[in-house]
């Protein structure tokens, strides 16, 4: 089967690079889970510093308008691999990816790249198209993670972000030297429930993080969707999220139930005195606890990305390796009072996207043209000198990376669709369009609409949908949304029935190459949080 695949695609896809295979650049794709652009200093973060991620931006190009097409883990990952929207790659929610379909790693491998996938995969099925893979089962855990590999599962002692980096460095050290490589190096961090390692936990434990302007958004003028959601910092963080210690006598399911409750009062120790927090004092404390741990997890990613960049520098790989940094979607850092993602609002829709391609990207370049996650696969194809398969729905970003003025027909609007309803956090299903200046959101199960002028109202506080002066804009946006929906072949394939969840099975028992059990250093979730 693979031989047939190779024969077909090598013939189809090579443009002119066969004889110059060695010169084709390596592609190092670094992706985190739920890392918002506004928690990176190169994007102007008010809450943290990320000096190593900033190195990529300083020496490469920062994309300021890169958007996800369906803001949750599994669908974004399927789109990144296939270059197709959820309704065509078959992954609208947390269902298993059908690995028999074509995707970018298969194409690159067939064209002579040595391909690797390390870290969080979260697509349910075993990876296809990779010479080497070592993945977390489902969400995986932060401490002493188990990895699934072709030979079976193995547990590796240590902190997930460090361990995944060690495995990525092993891949680089052990790769065949006669081929370019394509490595997907995917972190678990900083996903819920935000468990930092001790060093970074301490770094943030006493920090006071500035609150975002919309933390106390009252949702006035918006539809029911925001009011009904259950992903609010003040109301929906659990004791587990807040790292509260259960009473010693609680065991088994009762202990779990205690940890999963959303506390309305919390007793803390302040300078040796027990204090009970409630009301606004508790709300402020919850925001701090959330952000301290989230940012501590990010800081470990930053350190570890620095290790990998150093390795490239020290091993003659810098000049011929394209380094990409992104996250599978954005995230709410208290914006609109929320954590998590899902909604089409800016903090969740926007992905960080940095590309350093020595000799191609100008140092410190900033790109404002609109990119989407479906563009990543076509971009990798183009970087490798391959033709972009016509059924990929994204476009190669290479012309933008070269700093050229975007092609005249470059997109000025992107289409979005979120399906997971009923689902986690009671977030309502919706689709919509974002143009360079406006956004229209349609909660199709509620038949409710929102429209924002993102240029003049970047915080999206003023729903203009019913404003009589805006009806021409609303009509234009509707036209554009339905045009894109049709062009992208969204025929409501998943609007009535969603495929069953299938990516969060618990880790299988260790069968082979099992390391001896290691002591657990901190609380591990019994049921992994989704997303
Ligand atoms: Ca995610």
| C-alpha of residue 480 to centroid of ligand 1, in Å | 28
What is the per-residue pLDDT across 395-413, written as a single tens digit (0 to 9) for each?
A: 999 999 999 889 999 999 9
**Cα-flanking dihedrals φ and ψ of residue 48, to 5°?**
-165, 175
| C-alpha of residue 506 to centroid of ligand 1, in Å | 18
What is the per-residue pLDDT across 222-276, written as a single tens digit (0 to 9) for each?
A: 999 999 999 999 999 999 999 999 999 999 999 999 999 999 999 999 999 999 9
| C-alpha of residue 33 to centroid of ligand 1, in Å | 4
| C-alpha of residue 343 to centroid of ligand 1, in Å | 13
Smallest CA-to-CA distance from 82 within 416, 74, 132, 140 is with 74
| C-alpha of residue 6 to centroid of ligand 1, in Å | 32
| C-alpha of residue 492 to centroid of ligand 1, in Å | 24
| C-alpha of residue 476 to centroid of ligand 1, in Å | 32
| C-alpha of residue 467 to centroid of ligand 1, in Å | 35
Distance CA 295, CA 48 (A): 7
| C-alpha of residue 430 to centroid of ligand 1, in Å | 18
| C-alpha of residue 311 to centroid of ligand 1, in Å | 27
| C-alpha of residue 53 to centroid of ligand 1, in Å | 18
| C-alpha of residue 170 to centroid of ligand 1, in Å | 25
Per-residue pLDDT at 20: 44
- Counting every residue written for the chain, the total comes to 531
| C-alpha of residue 187 to centroid of ligand 1, in Å | 10
| C-alpha of residue 274 to centroid of ligand 1, in Å | 36
Alpha-helix runs per DSSP H in 345-397: 346-349, 376-383
Distance CA 68, CA 62 (A): 16
- Give me the residues of the chain with pLDDT under 70, please: 1-22, 506-531
| C-alpha of residue 348 to centroid of ligand 1, in Å | 10
| C-alpha of residue 325 to centroid of ligand 1, in Å | 14
| C-alpha of residue 237 to centroid of ligand 1, in Å | 17
Omega cis (within 30) before 294? no
Three-state secondary-structure class, residue 280: helix
| C-alpha of residue 95 to centroid of ligand 1, in Å | 14
| C-alpha of residue 378 to centroid of ligand 1, in Å | 21
**Helices 376-383 & 73-82 angle (0-180, nearest 10):** 30
| C-alpha of residue 74 to centroid of ligand 1, in Å | 7
pTM: 0.93
| C-alpha of residue 191 to centroid of ligand 1, in Å | 7
| C-alpha of residue 421 to centroid of ligand 1, in Å | 17
Tokens of 453: 């002028």
| C-alpha of residue 497 to centroid of ligand 1, in Å | 23
Smallest CA-to-CA distance from 309 within 27, 115, 53, 60 is with 53
| C-alpha of residue 351 to centroid of ligand 1, in Å | 11
| C-alpha of residue 441 to centroid of ligand 1, in Å | 21
What is the per-residue pLDDT across 327-340, written as a single tens digit (0 to 9) for each?
A: 999 999 999 999 99
Residues 6+ away with beta carbon under 8 Å from 62:
42, 43, 353, 354, 365, 366, 367
* 271 phi-psi bin (left φ>0, alpha ψ -120 to 50, beta other): left
Per-residue pLDDT at 512: 45
- Render the burial of 278-317: b for 16+ CB within 10 Å, e for the rest: eeeebbbbbbbbbbbbbbbbbbbbbbbbbebbebbeeeeb
Per-residue pLDDT at 516: 47
| C-alpha of residue 488 to centroid of ligand 1, in Å | 23
Tokens of 86: 């959820």
Q: Kindly list the distances between the CA atom of residue 505 and the CA atoms of 140, 199, 393, 407, 528, in Å, as whole numbers in the listed order.
A: 10, 31, 30, 44, 9
| C-alpha of residue 485 to centroid of ligand 1, in Å | 24
Distance CA 215, CA 213 (A): 6
Count of alpha carbons within 13 angstroms of residue 340, beta-carbon side:
21
| C-alpha of residue 262 to centroid of ligand 1, in Å | 22
| C-alpha of residue 404 to centroid of ligand 1, in Å | 31
| C-alpha of residue 75 to centroid of ligand 1, in Å | 9
Residue 407 near residue 389, CB atoms below 8 Å? no
| C-alpha of residue 177 to centroid of ligand 1, in Å | 33
Strand order, beta sheet including 430-435: 413-418, 430-435, 438-443, 448-453
| C-alpha of residue 392 to centroid of ligand 1, in Å | 22
| C-alpha of residue 94 to centroid of ligand 1, in Å | 11
Per-residue pLDDT at 404: 82
């Amino acid at each position: 089967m693979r031989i047939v695949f190779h024969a077909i695609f090598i013939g189809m896809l090579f443009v002119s690079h066969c004889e110059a295979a060695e010169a084709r650049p390596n592609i190092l794709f670094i992706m985190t889970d739920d890392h918002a652009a506004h928690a990176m200093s190169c994007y102007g973060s008010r809450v943290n510093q990320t000096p190593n991620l900033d190195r990529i931006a300083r020496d490469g190009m920062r994309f300021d308008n890169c958007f996800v097409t369906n803001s949750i883990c599994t669908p974004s990952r399927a789109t990144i691999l296939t270059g197709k929207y959820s309704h065509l790659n078959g992954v609208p929610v947390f269902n298993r990816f059908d690995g028999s379909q074509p995707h970018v790693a298969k194409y690159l491998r067939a064209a002579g790249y040595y391909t690797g996938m390390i870290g969080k995969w979260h697509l349910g099925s075993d990876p296809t198209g990779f010479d080497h893979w070592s993945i977390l089962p489902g969400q995986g855990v932060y401490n002493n993670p188990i990895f699934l590999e072709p030979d079976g599962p193995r547990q590796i002692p240590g902190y997930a972000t460090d361990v995944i980096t060690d495995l990525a460095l092993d891949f680089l050290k052990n790769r065949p030297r006669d081929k370019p490589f394509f490595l997907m190096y995917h972190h678990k961090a900083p996903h819920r429930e935000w468990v930092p390692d001790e060093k970074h936990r301490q770094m943030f434990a006493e920090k006071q993080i500035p609150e975002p302007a919309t933390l106390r958004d009252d949702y006035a003028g918006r539809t029911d969707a925001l009011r009904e959601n259950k992903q609010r910092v003040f109301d929906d963080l659990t004791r587990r999220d807040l790292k509260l210690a259960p009473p010693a006598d609680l065991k088994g399911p009762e202990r779990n139930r205690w940890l999963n409750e959303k506390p309305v009062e919390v007793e803390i120790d302040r300078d040796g005195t027990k204090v009970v927090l409630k009301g606004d004092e508790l709300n402020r404390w919850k925001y701090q606890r959330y952000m301290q741990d989230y940012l501590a997890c990010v800081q470990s990613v930053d350190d570890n990305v620095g290790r990998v960049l150093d390795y490239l520098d020290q091993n003659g790989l810098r000049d011929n390796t394209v380094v990409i940094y992104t996250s599978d979607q954005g995230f709410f850092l208290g914006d609109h009072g929320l954590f998590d993602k899902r909604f089409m609002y800016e903090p969740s829709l926007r992905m960080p996207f940095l590309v350093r391609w020595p000799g191609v990207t100008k140092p410190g370049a900033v790109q404002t043209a609109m990119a989407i996650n479906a563009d990543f696969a076509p971009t990798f194809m183009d970087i490798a000198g391959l033709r972009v398969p016509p059924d990929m729905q994204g476009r190669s970003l290479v012309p933008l990376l070269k700093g050229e003025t975007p092609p005249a027909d470059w997109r000025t609007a992107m289409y979005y669709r979120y399906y997971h309803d009923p689902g986690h956090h009671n977030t309502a299903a919706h689709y919509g369009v974002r143009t360079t200046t406006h956004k229209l959101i349609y909660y199709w199960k509620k038949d409710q609409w929102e429209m924002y002028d993102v240029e003049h109202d970047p915080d999206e506080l003023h729903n203009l949908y019913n404003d009589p002066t805006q009806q021409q804009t609303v009509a234009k946006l509707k036209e554009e949304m339905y045009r894109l929906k049709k062009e992208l072949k969204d025929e409501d394939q998943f609007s009535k029935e969603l495929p069953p969840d299938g990516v969060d099975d618990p880790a299988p028992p260790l069968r082979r190459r099992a390391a001896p059990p290691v002591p657990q250093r901190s609380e591990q979730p019994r049921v992994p949080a989704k997303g």
